């Protein structure tokens, strides 16, 4: 198992390896920037991914038309 946690108990972003502000023992449902099946991300990586997904989605829709 990967251990994406800092020494002081904070989750580490799965994308950029920087520590996040989310405690390891925080419930998943209360977390921000958490992607199920992937893991915890920091705000900037999460925003970047969401933006990419939006663009992909738009492109798909455009191709269908």
Contact footprint for Zn ion (CB under 5 A): 13, 15-16, 42, 45
**Shortest Å, Cβ 34 to Zn ion:** 12
Could you give the CA distance from residue 26 to residue 56 in angstroms, rounded to a whole number? Answer: 31
**Angle (nearest 5°) at CA 18 between 13 and 22:** 55
Nearer to Zn ion, 43 or 58 (CB): 43
**Shortest Å, Cβ 57 to Zn ion:** 22
The closest of 2, 37, 44, 3 to 21, measured between CA atoms, is 44
**Shortest Å, Cβ 60 to Zn ion:** 26
């Amino acid at each position: 198992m990967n251990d994406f946690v800092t020494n002081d108990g904070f989750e580490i972003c799965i994308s950029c390896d920087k520590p996040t502000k989310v405690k390891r023992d925080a419930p998943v449902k209360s977390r921000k920037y958490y992607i199920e099946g992937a893991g915890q991300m920091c705000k900037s990586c999460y925003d970047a991914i969401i933006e990419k997904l939006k663009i992909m989605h738009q492109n798909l829709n455009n191709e269908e038309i």
